[in-house]
């Protein structure tokens, strides 16, 4: 996972944790010349487990470029983590590092081994089981086989045909009717949001082991088993809510059949179409209609009634759509609706929430709902009768994530740690300070990579920013310590990216040229045009590449909020980075006019088609400026 955990990264997180635990136990072996069998045996087993995990890590790296699609939950990764964490927890209670005297530490270890014989026996048995399972997983030949070997499923699909079967079953779960040309036209009329693509992107950000605490917890299981159930999963910014939403959707899809249907939607601050109530209701209705012939018949009747001329892009009335949704869900014994990001609907939040909660009102409804959002007052007040579950990232997921990031950045030479004990210190401080925020951890890891040595990193770990806003302030403060040209680059890049309304034409190539334009210029300065690496480097932590790789975007909703709300409370030094739609519109308009008046585009008369085409190739910003800018 780029922002959270891939399968390979999950294993890397375990490798880091196993390394830390092995080093801790081995200190006892070294401290006692004739160490007891318990001390030696446990240390040896953990060392062997570390070796197997390292081997499995190499296998997963070799397979991670393989094209595959899977929703498997890797329970054995989670189980192995729990065992290592149990060992570490016992060691932490007997930690001697605070003594600051090597001789005293050695004496204490000689006098006390913190494990009982029965604990060692049980732990060794657990580790043996993990070694067997993980050792078998190391012998697979494809990623699908690796995932299945790490799961608790009996059926092993380690062939291309197995992957195809899984994809076919997924498609059948979401489409249970025959679709011809006429039906496709009707369904397309309601396809206002590409929910499957949005879900696919969220799944890519999720490790198969992430979120098991939620999907195997009692609150979610009760929701699955209870008719007309209501569940609200809320969390702080940066807690990984959208990634958990994909886990919830996957679990719901596993239970779907001819009498149990699932529909879902992701609301995204970057895409206004996903925030519109009519679009959300259309998408949900379309998904249900694809899963039952009777439901589709009701959708067709609605289509003929409200759009008799079969207009493309027709805007349906929201009130009428609420009635349609009630109708298309009635043929099912259970109709599950899952909507993520209610808080990202902007001014539409009250209307969207009020409308969605009305769907499972009444005794005869078959609808049950799960909503995910921040804990905002206008949402909480409306969801008073919902079961509420806080979804701050659990320490288990955070530990795997931090461990994976340390390993990944070390391998890529971005993080060069000499003192191996610093890895453990870094892991503990970041998990402790995160307070459930993956996003916060990512930013701190970026900062660690920019520091020159271990001493600077230890110092930084002692004064970490308390929240995301403080983190973003520090990032911009660091930019302000660079030269004026770098500051200007970041200000321009953030302005363009923050004001992008989601149009696909604003590609990385277009952005790089746009950032290079100076009001005083009369011609294009090719030497001033940046490449994407420069923007990503100087805008570290606040800008990222989109999932499809075509655009640069703000790395999180909280970044957009922070940039918009920079004001008098902040140091004047970072006000230049504030984004203001009204002010920015005038600045960007001036950029468009400056650019279109470049001498590069002077002509004595009409241009031929070839000349126009070459200009669009040589000046990517020109097409955008003409079509979208003015």
Give pLDDT tens digits for 599-610: 888 765 556 666
Residue 270: partners with Cβ closer than 8 Å, 6 or more residues away: 500, 502, 553, 554
Give Cα 546 distance to the centre of its chain. Answer: 12
Instruction: State how far the alpha carbon of 86 is from the alpha carbons of 18, 89, 310, in Å.
Output: 12, 5, 62
Instruction: State how far the alpha carbon of 421 is from the alpha carbons of 264, 425, 431, in Å.
Output: 45, 7, 16
- Please report the pLDDT score of residue 229 as a whole number: 95
Residue pair 34/98 in contact by the 8 Å Cβ criterion: no
Other beta carbons within 10 angstroms of residue 550's beta carbon come to 13
Whether 492 shows a pLDDT value over 90: the answer reads yes
Residue 547 or residue 288, greater confidence: 288
Residue 145 or residue 320, greater confidence: 320
- Please report the pLDDT score of residue 422 as a whole number: 93
Tell me the sheet residues that pair with 387. 231
Vertex 352: Cα angle to 187 and 303 (nearest 5): 25
The per-residue DSSP string of 294-342 comes to: HHHHHHHHHHHHH-TT--TT----HHHHHHHHHHHHTTSSEEEEEEE-G
- Residue found by looking up tokens 């655009």 in the block: 551
pLDDT tens for 395-412 read 777 888 888 889 889 988
Dump strand ranges (E) for 375-415: 387-390
Instruction: State how far the alpha carbon of 48 is from the alpha carbons of 71, 79, 126, 248, 492, in Å.
Output: 30, 17, 13, 35, 52
- Please report the pLDDT score of residue 159 as a whole number: 44
C-alpha–C-alpha distance, residues 249 and 265, integer Å:
10
Residue 455: partners with Cβ closer than 8 Å, 6 or more residues away: none
pLDDT tens for 551-563 read 999 988 899 999 9
Residue 122: partners with Cβ closer than 8 Å, 6 or more residues away: none
* Structure-token pair, residue 248: 């919830």
The domains located in the chain, with CATH, are 1-172 (no CATH), 183-381 (3.40.50.300), 469-629 (no CATH)
pLDDT tens for 95-146 read 655 444 555 555 555 556 788 888 899 999 999 999 888 887 776 645 555 6
- Residue found by looking up tokens 């892009």 in the block: 313
The per-residue DSSP string of 399-410 comes to: HHHHHHHHHHHH
Q: Average pLDDT of the chain?
A: 83
Within 13 Å and on the Cβ side, how many CA atoms surround 357?
20
- Please report the pLDDT score of residue 163 as a whole number: 43
Instruction: Tell me what the mean pLDDT of segment 426-451 comes to.
Output: 91
């Amino acid at each position: 996972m780029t922002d959270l955990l891939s399968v390979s990264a999950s294993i890397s997180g375990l490798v880091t944790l196993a390394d830390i635990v092995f080093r801790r136990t081995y200190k006892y072996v070294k401290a006692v010349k004739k160490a007891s069998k318990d001390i030696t045996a446990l240390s040896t087993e953990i060392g062997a487990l570390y070796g197997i995990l390292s081997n499995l890590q190499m296998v997963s790296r070799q397979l991670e470029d393989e094209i595959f699609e899977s929703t498997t939950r890797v329970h054995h990764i989670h189980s192995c983590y729990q065992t290592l964490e149990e060992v570490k927890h016992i060691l932490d209670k007997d930690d001697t590092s605070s003594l600051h005297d090597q001789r005293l530490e050695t004496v204490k270890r000689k006098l006390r081994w913190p494990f009982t014989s029965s604990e060692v026996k049980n732990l060794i048995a657990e580790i043996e089981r993990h070694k067997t399972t993980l050792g078998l997983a190391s012998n697979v030949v494809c990623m699908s086989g690796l995932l299945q070997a790490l799961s608790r499923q009996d059926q092993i699909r380690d062939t291309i045909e197995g992957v195809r079967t899984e994809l076919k079953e997924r498609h059948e779960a979401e489409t249970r009717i025959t679709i011809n040309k006429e039906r496709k036209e009707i369904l397309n009329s309601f396809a206002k949001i590409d929910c499957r693509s949005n879900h696919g992107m969220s799944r890519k950000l999720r490790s198969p082991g992430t979120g098991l605490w939620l999907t195997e917890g009692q609150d979610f299981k009760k929701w699955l088993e209870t008719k007309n159930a209501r569940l609200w999963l809320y969390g702080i910014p940066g807690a990984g809510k959208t990634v958990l939403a994909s886990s919830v959707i996957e679990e719901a899809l596993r239970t779907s059949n001819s009498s149990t249907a699932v529909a879902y939607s992701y609301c995204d601050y970057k895409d206004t179409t996903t925030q519109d109530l009519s679009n959300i209701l259309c998408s949900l209705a379309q998904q249900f209609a694809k899963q039952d012939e009777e439901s589709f018949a009701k959708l067709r009747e609605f289509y003929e009634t409200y759009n008799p001329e079969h207009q493309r892009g027709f805007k349906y009335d929201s009130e009428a759509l609420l009635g349609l949704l009630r109708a298309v869900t009635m043929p099912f014994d259970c109709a599950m609706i899952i909507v993520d990001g209610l808080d990202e609907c902007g001014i539409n939040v009250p209307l969207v929430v009020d409308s969605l909660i009305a769907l499972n009102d009444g005794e005869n409804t078959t609808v049950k709902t799960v909503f995910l959002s921040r804990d905002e007052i206008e949402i909480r007040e409306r969801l008073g009768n919902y079961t509420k579950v806080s979804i701050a990232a659990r320490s288990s997921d955070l530990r795997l994530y931090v461990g994976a990031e340390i390993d990944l950045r070390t391998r890529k030479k971005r993080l060069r740690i000499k003192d191996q004990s610093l890895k453990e210190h870094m892991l503990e401080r970041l998990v402790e300070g995160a307070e459930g925020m993956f996003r916060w951890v990512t930013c701190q890891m970026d900062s660690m990579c920019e520091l020159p040595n271990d001493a600077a990193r230890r110092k930084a770990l002692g004064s970490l920013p308390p929240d995301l806003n403080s983190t973003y302030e520090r990032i911009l403060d660091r930019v302000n310590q660079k030269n004026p040209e770098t500051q200007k680059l970041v200000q321009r890049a953030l302005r363009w990216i923050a004001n992008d309304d989601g149009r696909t034409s604003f590609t990385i190539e277009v952005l790089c040229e746009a950032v290079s334009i100076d009001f005083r210029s009369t011609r294009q300065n090719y030497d001033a045009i940046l490449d994407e690496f420069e923007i990503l480097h100087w805008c570290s932590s606040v800008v990222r590449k989109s999932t499809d790789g075509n655009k640069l975007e703000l790395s999180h909703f909280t970044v957009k909020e922070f940039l918009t709300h920079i004001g008098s409370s902040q140091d004047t030094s970072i006000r230049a980075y504030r984004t203001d739609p009204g002010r920015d519109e005038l600045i960007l308009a001036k950029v468009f006019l400056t650019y279109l008046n470049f001498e590069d585009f002077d002509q004595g008369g009409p241009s031929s088609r070839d000349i126009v085409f070459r200009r669009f190739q040589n000046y990517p910003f020109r097409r955008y400026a003409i079509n979208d800018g003015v």
